[in-house]
Amino acid sequence: MVYSLSNSDPIYSVNGPNCQSCRCCCTGTTFSINNYSTDEECGTIAKKWSGLAKEALTYADNFCDLMYFEKSPKKDDDDD
């Protein structure tokens, strides 16, 4: 959960697979970021496969964070 700093209300929830085996880590894993109030997906966090040596011998992981944005309406420049 991601909470608001002002009043500690939940804003987003992060959902991912409940996989405990090594198999899903070998192909990468995707976590969805959902708006807490509407449950609409608004982004993802993906764990990327780093290669056998790094995955087996270290605790380091690679993550890629993607957020979805709506386009802003074009402003009308006819204010002359």
Taking only the tens place, the pLDDT of each residue in 8-65 is: 888 889 888 776 555 455 567 888 999 999 999 988 888 887 778 877 788 877 777 7
| pLDDT of residue 77 exceeding 70 | no
Contact 11, 5 (CB under 8 A): no
If we measure between CA atoms, which residue out of 42, 45, 41, 36 comes closest to residue 68? 42
The token pair that represents 55 in the structure block? 């995955």
